[in-house]
Chains A and B, each alone.
Chain A
């Protein structure tokens, strides 16, 4: 084997160790600095809150102070954070009173300034603040965040715009509800519930113009907001050749008695998700003749279909518990009997 001098390697290793040791020292100092900076910021914020929290609470209670202390530049973010937290918990006159304080200290100006900051957290604070300030002059500035690459800023911008001008938001921003796949349905529903009347027409229009995944999302949104698309349109959606996931989504908004024949026709669909939704619809609008349909579904090969069919039977208003117990005794299928007994025991 050729003799190789390891001296360079050993030298590199040694200096690597020295570097590691030096970095350790740097890291320790950085940790110490971060802790010091955090404690300093906490002290400053506590000092700020000890003054401003009571002022804002006074305003909230209808005793807005006549004069306010000056707000120093380094206190602006503290103010916005405190003010946003309060605004998220209050409504009506109290919210207006607290907003007036924010206006008087120049919140609009420095929130608008923060919007152009490169710091993402500052932008988020600005978006939330401008939403609560409800100043229409910020509309354009906020709108550009609707297409931001992260859902936090884009969704917060949507929320702020809905707060500023709900009618305009409904007219102009409804398409974004389907474009942004990263806006989670639960959050959208929480937001739109407050202005469902304004959003119903644009949403209905979107539903009728959409297809595929967008349509499915729109239908789920409509269902969550208790919106009812036109009968003729829903009937079209319930055609058997539609994709199962679309059928299942359509069934969620098929709670109209006129749609019963279309719903019943799907009771034997090959996809169990469709059959589950059929059982749910029948629990809402089913008639006495649907009892047999549901009893048949108790023997379905899918547990979930059996479970929902059992629940549907329990929820039918015209089917008394005693009658259901009697029916349970007559069932030949063991699975059907078991699921019905389980559900009967559950409700007590």
Chain B
């Protein structure tokens, strides 16, 4: 039998065209999201005059339980809680969940806030590891601490939900820096629309900013180049991308650093899933899947004004751990909710957002890195012309830079948080340089995350180098 002779040249060219097409569609997808985000931002900007007026609060705004999972946060937990106690909101409670810390986190809380162990009926609405004690502050009536056996962030949040008293809960990272009006901003979707079940707050990069008393007092650009690139990355991918999806009710992730949820709905879908490292995304995807399957009218929205600031990694090792963890979380979230994709009753979440995430975020690192490596070696071995390789690099990088710059453009049109001229210049430089190594490095780390997910390696949060404010 004669095997057909393979034309490696043709195959190589087709593969090159495929990768090229992939890059084009990826960037076109994000551009489209940016355009949708732009429309939404325009409407929000038009209403800015209302936000700047003194707000009259009726006391009927829904009360909120702020849940703060804490693990080994002895250096920063007291300051974090103090700042949360100063939030400008009608009625709220703070529940810190000490997730089996090995340092003095609990001792710090008990001392700083004059807490004593109080009898409390604890409802096990969601499974969680053993709760060792519940403490109440004698100084702040709206502050409690749950001390429990270590079980991870998801487990800690479930424990917090069990103890919470209010219909909305807000999961906040212990190192998140909030603004005084953060709750007012993130609760707005719930006030204006009864169908909203979750609302994500915008997370911005706190590196370089001035912080006082646990609050951000002045916005500044980081001095660390890695952090500056993350500023651009956050604008491109996390801010405007999510806002675009939110407009279509297709947002599949709410940052674990700051998200507001309807408690009854989260309990209905089973709470946070313990066996996942990306518990924030997994919950939101599951909300979409289950609520859509039940035919319920629901919305998951995004509050685009900055409400939460967080420290971004400034060294490669910590950044790598973060990105490996995120990719693993993405993989877990998508694969455990495949039922959302292409449901018989169409939805943006199931027919657009989910396939988009799968194709461009989940498989993205494989195709992106694979594309670079393949085209290089194809050109090296003469299967494609070097000219073709050059054009591929030209368009891949060109579109990437254009997308990063478009994120900056949207920032300039809407929030302009970075007021100085040199900020703008550094950001524009970062938008270019981000595509010359940083994105590729990220793709490599995401590939590692996928590999670890495939082989079910134990993934860990790593140690984030804390700075005391």
Interface residues of A (CB under 8 A from B): 1, 3-4, 6, 9-10, 13-14, 16-17, 20-21, 23-24, 27-28, 30-32, 34-35, 38, 81, 84-85, 88-89, 119-121, 124-125, 128, 150-152, 156, 181-182, 184-187, 189-190, 193, 224, 303, 306-307, 335, 338-339, 341-342, 345-346
Bound: A127/B10 CA distance, A: 65
- In the complex, the answer to whether B121 meets A84 with C-beta atoms within 8 Å is no
- Among residues of A, the one whose C-beta sits closest to the C-beta of B119 is A341
Count the B residues whose beta carbon is within 8 Å of the partner chain — how many? 55
Contacts of B428 in A (CB 8 A): 28, 31
B114 contacts chain A at the CB level, 8 A cutoff: no
- In the complex, the answer to whether B58 meets A224 with C-beta atoms within 8 Å is yes
- In the complex, the answer to whether A125 meets B49 with C-beta atoms within 8 Å is yes
Contacting residue for B424 out of A35, A89, A335, A341, CB 8 A? A35
Q: Determine how close the nearest CB of chain B comes to the CB of A339; give it in whole angstroms.
A: 5
Q: Determine how close the nearest CB of chain A comes to the CB of B395; give it in whole angstroms.
A: 4
Contacting residue for A21 out of B119, B398, B408, B413, CB 8 A? B398
The contact sample of 19 A-B pairs, CB cut-off 8 A, is A1-B4, A1-B6, A1-B10, A13-B20, A14-B391, A17-B391, A17-B395, A27-B406, A30-B409, A31-B408, A31-B428, A34-B412, A38-B412, A184-B191, A185-B58, A187-B58, A187-B191, A342-B118, A345-B118
- In the complex, the answer to whether B398 meets A31 with C-beta atoms within 8 Å is no
Contacts of A152 in B (CB 8 A): 46-47, 50
Contacting residue for A85 out of B53, B193, B387, CB 8 A? B53
Given known contacts A89-B54, A186-B191, A24 and B405 CB-to-CB distance under 8 angstroms: yes
Bound: A224/B59 CA distance, A: 9
- In the complex, the answer to whether A128 meets B49 with C-beta atoms within 8 Å is yes
Q: Determine how close the nearest CB of chain B comes to the CB of A301; give it in whole angstroms.
A: 11
- Among residues of B, the one whose C-beta sits closest to the C-beta of A304 is B165
Bound: A156/B49 CA distance, A: 11
Given known contacts A31-B428, A35-B421, A224-B58, A121 and B48 CB-to-CB distance under 8 angstroms: yes
- In the complex, the answer to whether B409 meets A124 with C-beta atoms within 8 Å is no
Bound: A160/B17 CA distance, A: 60
**Chain B interface main SS type:** helix
**Chain A interface main SS type:** helix
Known contacts A9-B20, A88-B53, A120-B43; 16 further A-B pairs (Cβ under 8 A): A1-B4, A13-B391, A13-B392, A17-B394, A17-B395, A24-B405, A35-B416, A150-B43, A181-B194, A182-B193, A185-B58, A186-B58, A186-B59, A186-B191, A338-B121, A342-B119
Q: Determine how close the nearest CB of chain A comes to the CB of B242; give it in whole angstroms.
A: 21
Q: Determine how close the nearest CB of chain B comes to the CB of A26; give it in whole angstroms.
A: 9
Q: Determine how close the nearest CB of chain B comes to the CB of A197; give it in whole angstroms.
A: 18
Bound: A6/B18 CA distance, A: 12
A-B complex: 4 closest residue pairs judged by Cβ atoms: A20-B398, A121-B46, A17-B395, A17-B394
- Among residues of B, the one whose C-beta sits closest to the C-beta of A336 is B121
B56 contacts chain A at the CB level, 8 A cutoff: yes
Contacts of A28 in B (CB 8 A): 405, 428
Q: Determine how close the nearest CB of chain B comes to the CB of A27; give it in whole angstroms.
A: 4
- In the complex, the answer to whether A27 meets B50 with C-beta atoms within 8 Å is no
Convert B102-142 into 0s and 1s, putting 1 for each residue whose CB lies closer than 8 angstroms to a CB of A: 00000000000000001111010000000000001000000
- In the complex, the answer to whether A88 meets B46 with C-beta atoms within 8 Å is no
Bound: A126/B364 CA distance, A: 49
- In the complex, the answer to whether B46 meets A34 with C-beta atoms within 8 Å is no
B268 contacts chain A at the CB level, 8 A cutoff: no
Bound: A3/B10 CA distance, A: 7
- In the complex, the answer to whether B424 meets A31 with C-beta atoms within 8 Å is yes
